[in-house]
Structure 1
């Protein structure tokens, strides 16, 4: 995980939220497990569990040059690995929300079920 974190871009939740507000075309991607998603997630997020990213991401989001992603998991580890994988797949605009869902909750983001 440390190696993945060294290769990706991370933004704190406050900066991530501002960027999402100013650029609504950014895909907010929740890579937690189904049960975690069902218990609550950031409003506007798209769910794609870490285990299926490599099987589904290219089909759902074929524009690797222009589609921008903000990725989060529960605390940041899985998101770092997913961001690293997405970059290996050729995605150019991938950022992890630092601290994940726990930090999102702490920052007061709107949550939905």
Structure 2
């Protein structure tokens, strides 16, 4: 095992998760009603978010899982956070919960607003 594979063990995302750059993400969510979720805190969400997004705070544990359990697991799900770190962790959890297609915004909300 190489040093790099040791350091990044477990970092690969499941096949059900795709990371989209800003333009591809924007195009995908503009095609109609989609499941779009901001996984940042309520305060972060209130300071600015992508139009049409719901807010489900990643740090809310069981409330996070309960809120996502109400969404359709067989429909594409678009998520984002501030930088992409939380949303990638969330994506892994969502795949474990049965979501089949999860799309994450590369670089998070901070690149959305530049």
TM-score of the aligned structures, taking structure 1 as reference length: 0.81
Moved over 2 A (4+): 2-8
Q: Which has the larger radius of gyration?
A: 2
Q: Name the structure 1 match of 2:38.
A: 30
Normalised by the length of structure 2, the TM-score is 0.81
- 1:87 is matched with which residue? 95
> How many angstroms apart in 2 are the aligned matches of 1:18 and 1:99?
16
Match of residue 101 from structure 1? 109
Task: Report the count of equivalent residues.
Answer: 101
Q: Are 1:19 and 2:28 matched, yes or no?
A: yes
Structure 2 unaligned regions, length at least 5 = 1-7
| Deviation sequence 1:13-54 (CA, Å, 0-9, x none) | 1100101112x2321110000110111111111111012321
Indicate the RMSD between aligned Cα atoms, in angstroms. 1.5
Residue in structure 2 matched with residue 56 of structure 1 by the alignment:
67
In structure 1, stretches of 5+ residues that fail to align are 107-113
Q: Structure 1 residues 53, 104: closer, same or farther in 2, change over 3 A?
A: same
User: What's the counterpart of residue 6 of structure 1?
Assistant: 13
Work out the CA distance in 1 between the residues paired with 2:57 and 2:107: 17
How far did residue 4 of structure 1 move?
4.9
Give the structure with the higher percent helix: 1
- Distance change (3 Å), C-alpha of 1:28 and 1:55: same
Contact 2:56–2:64 under 8 Å retained in 1: yes
